[in-house]
Structures are given as structure tokens and as C-alpha cells.
């Protein structure tokens, strides 16, 4: 354990413990939500139902795409999630999809949908994941002129399956924050409370999905960037097993083999039941490694759970709030009633979780820095730029500079200890994997609190190892929404399994969606009857 690193963490914990309740008083939640209610029933249906309707010729892609375009236009003024849309092109692609379906005979239709699993289905893309011809500035003024020359590989997999991309969504600068506050446009807002962040770095995707304006989105996660926004916005988000999805076409990235393990692209969606199909498509050539199509008997899954880290490590962390712990307990009781074996587990083996997590990022080769110059005193340069950012005088965001500083100073760790923590990671991976085995999952907090107030992430960031730890381990994780707290904010937790056992996480997510309702709706629906003639 690193003394100076943990001293900073403890000081941040004390300051945030004082500020958090104060913000509740000074910035009470707006009520009711400003997000318009959903009126088109098409926008409330999960992917698997929509595919079925299209196969039965009861739904046209054009109608579905129009429904989502209209919903995006309704909510965008309230969340600021869109970087750039491609609505006109999407409608043309929907017309072509409908023509393809109309041309097929009833006998040919199953083969058509077997080849194009997502034929005519609209989706959205985190800007950093790469959508051909669309911006890939990733929240940075330095990249404002850049567009993606090709689809990233995961985006390409979804498009090849017949999916229709609608837009690219906003990220923080270089994806270096758990707030989506880019320098290129207005900050992204949480659909449940505009005074709070939707999270980061997949904040735009989470806000769109949480507001019911995306059927599903492609996000990326190197330290919680799918799961934390999913928590904050009340949706499902899956971080796959390390190395399962390609990071080709993603910015930022690295040639380092470890980056291909830590950084993963995956789905964000309102519907837990859709995760399996989405992962099957996104994983592409690696899908067979996950064996997603083989059924799982829920009663055979062993449930381990913990409410946070233990011992001194747990003391130095901010403890998850009561509602987070309660969401885990509710799920544990539910599966216990279903005949599953449940066991509270110790996290004492994770005594150096923060050191292991941060050192893994520090050791990444070729991972880009935000600020690059010939200045020999780069730390001093960064500190000056950070102070300028605090005063609104920098071309960079303060959150991204803060992350840059952390890496420049080895996350306040002694250089000689970095390799020691790398070795400890391998031991922990073997021990933890053995505990979970082929049929075990861990219920663990995704984060310590619900959606953060804007401009507070630098204090709360010291809990990032609740998620980052499992990226560097390479274990699959699914965030599951589990209702609201007393302030109307979404709560939930992550489900973690051994490598290549993603389907256990996805199975648990589907069961909990059925039992507890899943997606948290910002504003109740005002549905109009569906047109049965379509």
C-alpha cells in the first residue's frame, strides 16, 4: 500500500463526505423530470421483440427509425448528448432494409434474418468508437477537425449485422473523466436530474438510453466507462471479458497488448434481455468463446456478494451509500429464494486494489497523453494548465488534465513498486478466478453513490477501482439497475464472473430485470395506441 496515494484518497474521502450532503441541500433535485414522456410505444419495446415483429412483417424499419429520430429530437435539448446525427442517411438505409425484407419470400425470411441479425434496427455510437465519416474529436478542441475514416471493428460488426447507426454521442475530453464535460460543446446532462452528470466516459450513450432515445448503444470501458454511466442513468451496461471485443478504430487506444485486455467495447441498453444478442454480434469472430447460446440454469449459479472492500482498504475508501448496499441485498435474497447458493465473501485479497488498478494504467505503453510538449517539466506545466482550467482559461478540461497529471506522476506511487503490483495482479487473477469458477458470480458495488453532481468527480474519482479493478483483471461485468433512491436517482450494482463467463452476468441481469423492473424511467410514459395496420 502506497502511503502518499492513500493519504490523498483519505483526504478526498473526508472532503467529499462533507460536500456530498451539503450539495443535496444546496442543489435539491428538480421535480418533476424535464424529460418529455414517451408517447410512441415502439420506443418501449426491447430489441428481441422488435426483431420478431420485423420477421413477421408487422413492423417496418422506416417506422422504427423515425420513432427513434423523433425521440432523440425531443430529449436532446434536455441532455446535450449528440455530437452529430446522420438521420437522413439512416432513413435511406431503413428504406433499403424494408425493401430487402419485402423482396424475400416467407421461406427465405429466416435465412435473411440469420445472416442479418439486426436488419433494420437503429442504434447509437459513442464517438470514440469510430463511425465512418462522423466526428471522432472525443471532446477535444485539438481534434475538432477529425472524422473517422472507417468504422471501428465493433461498429462494423453491428453494421454488417444490418444495424443502422443514427448518430455519435458525446464523451469527456479523451474519455479521461467520469463526467461528460467536453471542451467542444455543452456538458451532457443526466436525464433524471440535470444538475448531475450522466457519468463518463460513455455519458452521451447512457443519457440517450436512459431517456429512452436509443434502443442500444455501443460504448467503451477501461475503468468503468460503461458501468458507471449505466448506474447514473438507470440502464444496463456490459463490460466484456478482456480481449473479446476489438478496440480497432477506438480513440484513445494503444498498441500495448494489455490495453486490448483492459479496454473493451460493449453494449448499453435499457433491456437486460437484449444483452446476449448484442454481445453475440459485437464480439464478432470471438463470439464462440463466450458460448452465449447455451442455456444457463439460474439455480446452478453460485452467488458471492460483498458491499465493498475490507479492512484498511475499505476504511480508506468512501463506503457505498445504504441504497447501493440494499440493492445488492435485495438481489441476494431474491436468488436465495430461487434456490441459489449464496455466500458473503471477503475482499481482503484486494487490499491493494487502488495501487494495482492505477499502476496498470500507468504502465500502459503508447497510451496518449492529453498535453504533449517539449517542456522538460511536464508536471509543472500540467499543474499550471489545471489552475487555468479551474478558472475557465484553458483549452483543456480540468478533469482530463487531472487524469494526465495522475499518469505523469505514476499515480503518486514509487516507480520501483509498479512491477510489484503487476505481479500481485496475476496472483489475484488466479485466486479470484478459482473462487468464481465456471458457475460463480460476484455482486459488488459499481460505485459508491448515485449520479454525481457536476464538477465533483475529482473528489469521487478515488473510488474508480470499484470498476477499474475488474478491467485489469479481465473479468466480465454487467451493471444492473435496481430501482431509485429517496432522491429519485437510479441505484444498482455490478455482476462479475470469471473470464469468458459473460453469459452468467447476462443471465443474472435478465432475471433481475424481470423481478425488479430494470430500466429506470425518468418520466412515466404517455403511450398512444400502436398502429396495427403497419
pLDDT in tens, 120-151: 999 999 999 999 999 999 999 999 999 999 99
Q: What rounded mean pLDDT belongs to the chain?
A: 95
**pTM, two decimal places:** 0.97
Q: Is 128 a catalytic residue?
A: no
Give start and end residues of each alpha helix (H) in 27-117: 47-55, 61-79, 87-103, 109-115
Q: Is 225 a catalytic residue?
A: yes
What share of the chain in percent tops pLDDT 70? 98
Q: How far apart are CA 130 and CA 362, in angstroms?
A: 25
Q: Which three cell numbers stand for residue 327?
A: 440493492
Residue 25: its pLDDT value, please?
79
Q: Which three cell numbers stand for residue 150?
A: 472507417
Q: Is 202 a catalytic residue?
A: no
Residue 30: its pLDDT value, please?
61
Query: Residue 34: pLDDT band by 50, 70, 90 thresholds?
Result: confident
- Widest pairwise Cα distance in the chain: 70
Closest to 122 in 3D by CA, of 85, 150, 152: 85
Contact present, 232 and 509 (Cβ < 8 Å):
no
Contact present, 143 and 137 (Cβ < 8 Å):
yes
pLDDT in tens, 466-501: 999 999 999 999 999 999 999 899 999 999 999 999
| Lowest-confidence region among 34-38, 57-61, 202-206, 371-375 | 371-375
Residue 534: its pLDDT value, please?
45
pLDDT in tens, 168-204: 999 999 999 999 999 999 999 999 999 999 999 999 9
Burial of 431 (0-12, 13-18, 19+ CB in 10 A): exposed
Q: Which three cell numbers stand for residue 341?
A: 447458493
Residue 533: its pLDDT value, please?
47
Strands 477-484 and 490-497: antiparallel
Angle at alpha carbon of residue 67, lines to 64 and 70, rounded to 5°? 150
N-terminal to C-terminal alpha carbon distance within the chain: 63
Average pLDDT over residues 310-332: 96
| Domain architecture of the chain: domains with CATH | 52-284+297-516 (3.90.1300.10)
| Lowest-confidence region among 10-19, 93-102, 240-249 | 10-19
pLDDT in tens, 74-104: 999 999 999 999 999 999 999 999 999 999 9
Query: Residue 23: pLDDT band by 50, 70, 90 thresholds?
Result: confident
Strands 236-239 and 264-269: antiparallel
Question: Is the per-residue pLDDT at 26 higher than 90?
Answer: no
Catalytic residue among 128, 140, 148, 225: 225
Angle at alpha carbon of residue 462, lines to 460 and 466, rounded to 5°? 100
User: Residues in the chain, how many?
Assistant: 534
Average pLDDT over residues 415-420: 93
pLDDT in tens, 158-171: 999 999 999 999 99
Phi, psi dihedrals of residue 494, rounded to the nearest 5°: -105, 145
Q: How far apart are CA 490 and CA 492, in angstroms?
A: 7
- What is the separation of C-alpha 99 from the centre of its chain, rounded to a whole number of angstroms? 34
Catalytic residue among 61, 128, 201, 214: 201
pLDDT in tens, 342-394: 999 999 999 999 999 999 999 999 999 999 888 888 899 999 999 999 999 99
Catalytic residue among 60, 126, 239, 351: 126
Number of helical (H) and strand (E) elements in the chain, helices listed first: 19, 11
Amino acid at each position: 500500500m502506497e502511503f502518499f496515494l492513500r493519504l490523498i484518497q483519505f483526504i478526498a474521502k473526508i472532503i467529499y463526505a462533507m460536500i456530498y450532503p451539503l450539495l443535496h441541500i444546496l442543489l435539491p433535485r428538480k421535480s418533476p423530470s424535464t424529460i418529455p414522456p414517451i408517447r410512441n410505444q415502439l420506443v418501449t419495446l426491447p430489441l428481441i421483440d422488435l426483431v420478431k415483429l420485423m420477421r413477421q412483417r408487422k413492423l417496418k424499419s422506416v417506422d422504427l427509425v423515425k420513432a427513434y429520430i423523433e425521440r432523440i429530437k425531443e430529449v436532446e435539448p434536455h441532455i446535450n448528448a449528440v455530437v452529430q446525427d446522420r438521420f437522413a442517411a439512416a432513413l435511406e438505409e431503413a428504406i433499403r432494409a424494408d425493401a430487402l425484407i419485402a423482396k424475400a419470400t416467407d421461406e427465405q425470411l429466416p435465412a435473411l434474418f440469420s445472416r442479418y441479425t439486426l436488419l433494420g434496427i437503429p442504434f447509437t455510437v459513442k464517438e470514440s468508437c469510430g463511425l465512418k465519416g462522423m466526428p471522432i474529436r472525443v471532446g477535444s478542441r485539438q481534434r475538432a477537425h477529425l472524422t473517422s475514416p472507417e468504422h471501428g471493428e465493433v461498429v462494423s460488426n453491428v453494421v454488417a449485422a444490418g444495424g443502422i447507426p443514427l448518430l455519435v454521442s458525446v464523451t469527456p475530453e479523451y474519455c479521461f473523466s467520469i463526467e461528460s464535460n467536453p471542451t467542444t460543446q455543452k456538458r451532457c446532462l443526466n436525464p433524471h436530474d440535470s444538475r448531475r452528470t450522466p457519468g463518463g466516459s460513455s455519458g452521451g450513450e447512457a443519457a440517450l438510453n436512459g431517456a429512452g432515445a436509443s434502443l442500444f448503444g455501443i460504448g467503451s470501458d477501461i475503468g468503468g466507462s460503461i458501468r458507471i454511466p449505466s448506474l447514473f442513468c438507470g440502464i444496463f451496461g456490459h463490460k466484456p471479458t478482456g480481449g473479446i471485443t476489438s478496440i480497432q478504430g477506438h480513440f484513445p487506444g494503444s498498441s500495448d497488448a494489455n490495453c486490448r485486455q483492459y479496454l473493451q467495447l460493449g453494449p448499453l441498453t435499457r433491456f437486460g434481455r437484449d444483452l446476449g444478442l448484442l454481445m453475440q454480434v459485437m464480439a464478432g469472430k470471438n463470439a464462440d468463446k463466450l458460448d452465449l447460446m447455451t442455456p444457463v440454469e439460474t439455480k446452478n449459479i453460485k452467488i458471492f456478494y460483498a458491499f465493498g472492500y475490507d479492512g484498511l482498504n475499505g476504511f480508506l475508501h468512501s463506503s457505498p451509500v445504504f441504497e447501493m448496499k440494499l440493492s445488492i441485498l435485495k438481489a441476494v435474497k431474491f436468488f436465495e429464494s430461487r434456490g441459489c447458493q449464496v455466500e458473503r465473501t471477503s475482499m481482503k485479497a484486494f487490499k491493494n486494489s487502488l495501487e494495482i488498478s492505477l499502476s496498470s494504467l500507468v504502465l500502459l505503453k503508447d497510451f496518449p497523453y492529453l498535453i504533449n510538449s517539449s517542456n522538460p517539466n511536464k508536471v509543472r506545466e500540467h499543474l499550471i494548465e489545471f489552475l487555468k482550467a479551474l478558472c475557465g482559461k484553458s483549452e483543456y478540461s480540468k478533469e482530463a488534465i487531472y487524469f494526465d497529471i495522475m499518469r505523469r506522476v505514476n499515480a503518486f506511487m514509487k516507480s520501483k513498486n509498479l512491477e510489484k503490483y503487476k505481479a500481485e495482479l496475476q496472483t489475484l487473477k488466479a485466486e479470484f478466478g478459482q473462487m468464481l469458477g465456471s458457475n460463480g458470480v460476484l455482486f459488488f458495488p459499481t460505485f459508491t453513490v448515485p449520479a454525481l453532481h457536476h464538477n465533483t468527480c475529482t473528489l469521487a474519482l478515488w473510488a474508480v477501482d470499484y470498476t477499474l479493478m475488474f478491467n485489469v483483471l479481465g473479468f466480465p461485468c454487467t451493471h444492473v439497475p435496481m430501482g431509485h433512491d429517496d432522491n429519485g436517482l437510479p441505484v444498482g450494482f455490478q455482476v462479475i464472473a470469471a473470464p469468458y463467463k459473460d453469459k452468467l452476468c447476462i443471465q443474472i441481469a435478465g432475471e433481475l430485470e424481470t423481478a425488479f423492473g430494470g430500466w429506470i424511467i425518468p418520466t412515466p410514459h404517455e403511450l398512444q395506441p400502436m398502429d396495427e395496420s403497419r
